[in-house]
Structure formats: structure tokens, C-alpha cells
Amino acid sequence: MKNVLIVDDDPEISRSLANLFDPERFHFFYLEDGQTMVDFIKEKKEIDVVLLDVNLPTLSGLDVLKKAKLSDISVPIIMISGYVTTENAIEAMREGAFEYLTKPFEIQKLLDTVSKACGFGKQKAQTYEARPAAETVEIDEIIGRSPEIVEIAKLVGQVAKSDAAILIFGESGTGKELIARAIHRNSRRRGKPFLSVNCAALAETLLESELFGHEKGAFTGAYFKRLGKFEQSNNGTIFLDEIADMSMLTQSKLLRVLQEKKFERVGGNETIEVDVRVVAATNKSLVQSMREGSFRVDLFYRLKVVSIFLPPLRERKGDIPLLAEHFAKKFSHHLSKEIKGISPKALNMLSKYVWPGNIRELENNVHTACVMTKSDTLQAEDFPIFSEIESKVEIDLDHMQEDYEELFKKIIDPVLLKLINNSEGKIYYFLESALEKALISSCLKHFGSNQVKTSEILGISRNTLRDRISKYNIY
């Protein structure tokens, strides 16, 4: 017989939960407030698992969890919540909760979780590191309430406590760096440097220097010694984005850092030791890259101690209104505009769109809408995607031949008045930059971020392409 303590201020919910379990295997105790939970467990001693509600009358469930862990309570504590927030999920797992479950419960998952907790109660406390109660930790804001994003938030809280290397998978624009920052800010390395490197944005020699630094005279243009990102982020975290684009030579040096925590600067002989946590990310299949011989198998397994998959925005559409409202508040503040919200029609339109560019595309659309709107509520026509949904431009490239004037007139004529009203004196620069950025972004996406192929198709040099990628902050 296993003894379960339910801490919830609603007696009916507590009894309903208890009725889900086999009475021959589980016996239940009940508390309506968490203030006495620690004393109750110490007095009873035979409690095997606790179901602790997040929302309690006096202390919150999270505060009760912290109090329990600081009191050396070894009983596994399962947090339960009816109001889903990723911040609570991260904090609960970081503070040592056995699991974080949200209402309404999947009955089988609840039963399985409690059964598992009863079998591992004595092991949980051994992995917990107590911290002073007065300590506060900034939590990176991960927006969403979908089951997918809550599971990711729980995983962030769980893995943040270790120094294990992490590999994040996901399409461009899904928020991989945001997750990496959340892991860093919830780890023991918080307060230490967090540095980000885009491995696809730099040529091989420049990337090697960027990561490991170089000595004076190591190559043409090396007029002084430069510390690399690994040295700069010592005792902190380094985020390596688009890791699949790293050359085999640089991969071998990265592998050595992961294995031995040592490296030499380019052109140098001094061995430098560092303590850096590595979080890597990619929007490509590393399994396919390994098959093609462009990615090291040993490096893959060194990086993939823990893996996190970020689903595309189209697979968690329930989060779109939350994200859109969040971005609207953010940009209304930055632009010093009083924007009260987004119209129902606009929210419906945003929810139906497939978002090939994911969260980054949504953020850019909301930013544009905040700039263009003339009211205190964002309307559908304020968003760039509105024209894509409501009226697509008909293009017949066979009849246009080499003259694209007709195409551009079809695009510009319907919005010319709005351009004049909002961008007077800057229309030429605005359109020229927008076209260049859109063309480069589309080509990079089409060719899987292959800069060589993109530069060939566009008819520009690699240096020019890299310059534009940096100028327009294209990922």
C-alpha cells in the first residue's frame, strides 16, 4: 500500500483524483493548504508521494516545493496546475519537482506518473542541490500554453541543472536561441557569459578564429591577438547555431573542446583550458549529414547528450494568439504607441496562416502592423500576410520575359497610398532594401541555407552575400 498526500484547496477535486486510483494499492491523505505540508510529512513519515497544487490560498505551490526541498524532504512531489504557464513549468522542474502535470489530466498519464514516483521516491532527493530561499532566478520568457511548449519548458527546467551538452532541433524561426538562453538563465552558470555564434554566417577560417581566437600574425589581417568565443564565455554557455554548416576541420576542434576542454588559438601553441557548456542547434537533419559524410558521428553523440525538438508554429496554432498579443505589447512599448490589442478578425487570420517562417515571421508581421496601424487595435489589413491571404498577385512569368515592371506594379499600386502616408521620403530605400532582403531570404530558404548555391543563382559574390546576411540580420 502506497500513501499519497494531495494538497489542494478544493476538497472535491482532491476526492475526484483519489477515486481514479486502485484503493487496494493507494491510500490518500488530504491538506487544503501547503503551509503545514512539511510538518505533516515529517510527522507521518510514511508518505510516498505528494500531489501539490500550484495555486493555493496562502503560499503558492512552488513556494511550498522550495520549502520542502530546503527541509530535506525526500518524497517525490508532483506539481499540478489548472493555469498553464511555461514559467511555472520551468521553475517547478528546476526546483526538483518529480513532474509537472496540467489540468484537465490525461488519466493514464496521471496514474503512470504517481506509480513511477512511488517506486523512485528514495532516489529523487539525491539529485537535488538546495539553494538559499532568498535567491531569485530570472526566467527567460517562453510564450505558449500548448502541450508541446509546456513539455519543452519542463525539459528546460530539468536539463538546466546539469552541464550536459544539448542539441536543439527545429525549423528556422522556431526560437532555438530563446530555449538556449532559458537553459543558461536557469542553470548554475547564470550571471556568467552567454555567447551566440551562427556557424552558417561565417567562412571556415573566420569561424575558426571566431570560436577559438587567433594570435597576432596568424593570417593576413591578424594585426593583434584576439580571444575567441570559447575563451570569452569561460564558465558560461556558448550557443552554436546552425551547427550542421560547420566544416569537418572545425568540427574536430570542437570535439576536442567537448572531450578535453582544451584548444589552441589559430596560429598559437599555448593550450588553453576552458569550462564552457555547449548548446548547439540546427534546422537540418544531422543523421542525413552523417550519411553524406559532412558531419562527424562522434561529434553528433557528444552534442546530443540531451536533445530538444521545437515543433513548427503551424503544429501549435493555439499559441499564435498568445504570441501575437505578446509581440503587440512589446512593439507598442518600443514604438511608444498605445495599442490595446488585436481585432478578432486579425487573430482569426493569424491563426489560419501556415507561418513558413515560424515565430520569427509572426514577430515581423506584428512589428510591421504596429508601425502601420492608425488605430489602437491592430486590424487584419495592418499585417503584411493579409494581402497574401485575401488577394494573391497573379503572375505569368512566361509572358513577362525579362521585364518585371508589370509584376512590381501589381504589387505596388494597391499599397502606394499607404506607402506615401507612412514612408514619405523613404519609399525608394524602403522598397529597395525590402526586395533585396526578401530575395536573399527566399533563395537561402530554397537552397537549405547553402550560401554557395545562393550566391551563384543570384549572381553575386559570397562576400556580398555574407555582407547582406549580416546587414539584414537574415537567419
Say what the pTM is.
0.66
Residue 145: is its pLDDT beyond 90? no
Please tell me whether residues 171 and 283 are part of one structural domain: yes
Which of 127, 142, 177 delimits the end of a domain? 127
Please tell me whether residues 95 and 193 are part of one structural domain: no
Please tell me whether residues 170 and 53 are part of one structural domain: no
Please tell me whether residues 207 and 281 are part of one structural domain: yes
pLDDT band at 137 (very low <50, low <70, confident <90, very high): very low
Whether 249 is covered by a domain: the verdict is yes
Q: State pLDDT tens for residues 150-186.
A: 899 999 999 988 899 999 999 999 999 999 999 999 9
Whether 408 is covered by a domain: the verdict is no
Q: State pLDDT tens for residues 267-279.
A: 888 999 999 999 9
Please tell me whether residues 173 and 288 are part of one structural domain: yes
Helices (runs of H) and strands (runs of E) counted in the chain: 23, 14
Residue 211: is its pLDDT beyond 70? yes
pLDDT at 28: 92
Q: How far is it, in rounded angstroms, from Cα 192 to Cα 56?
A: 35
Check which CATH number belongs to the domain holding 386 and give it: 1.10.8.60
Please tell me whether residues 254 and 331 are part of one structural domain: no
The type of residue at 175 is G
Minimal CA–CA distance to 102: which of 121, 75, 125, 79?
Answer: 79
Whether 52 is covered by a domain: the verdict is yes
Whether 445 is covered by a domain: the verdict is no
pLDDT at 135: 35
Check which CATH number belongs to the domain holding 49 and give it: 3.40.50.2300
Whether 157 is covered by a domain: the verdict is no
Largest alpha-carbon pair distance within the chain? Answer: 85
Locate 79 and state its grid cell: 506539481
Check which CATH number belongs to the domain holding 236 and give it: 3.40.50.300
Please tell me whether residues 176 and 303 are part of one structural domain: yes
Task: Evaluate whether 132 touches 146 at the Cβ level (below 8 Å).
Answer: no
Residue 147: is its pLDDT beyond 50? yes
Q: Which domain holds residue 39?
A: 2-127
Alpha helices in 48-192 (DSSP H): 61-70, 86-94, 107-119, 121-124, 147-159, 176-185
pLDDT band at 237 (very low <50, low <70, confident <90, very high): very high
Q: At what angle do helices 358-372 and 416-423 cross, to 10 degrees?
A: 70
Whether 437 is covered by a domain: the verdict is no
Which of 269, 285, 311 delimits the end of a domain? 311
Whether 133 is covered by a domain: the verdict is no
Average pLDDT over residues 451-458: 89
Average pLDDT over residues 4-30: 88
Q: State pLDDT tens for residues 281-324.
A: 999 999 999 999 999 999 999 999 999 999 999 999 989 999 99
Please tell me whether residues 93 and 210 are part of one structural domain: no
Q: How far is it, in rounded angstroms, from Cα 240 to Cα 162?
A: 18
Whether 400 is covered by a domain: the verdict is no
Average pLDDT over residues 335-363: 91
Please tell me whether residues 363 and 376 are part of one structural domain: yes
Please tell me whether residues 325 and 306 are part of one structural domain: no
pLDDT at 127: 32
Lowest-confidence range among 65-69, 408-412, 462-466? 408-412
Q: At what angle do helices 176-185 and 147-159 cross, to 10 degrees?
A: 40
Which of 311, 333, 351 delimits the end of a domain? 311
Mean pLDDT score of the chain, rounded to an integer?
85
Query: Could you give the dihedral angle defined by the CA atoms of residues 23, 27, 33 and 37, in that order, rounded to the nearest 10 degrees?
Result: -160
Please tell me whether residues 206 and 113 are part of one structural domain: no
Total number of domains constituting the chain? 3
Please tell me whether residues 276 and 328 are part of one structural domain: no
Average pLDDT over residues 57-74: 88
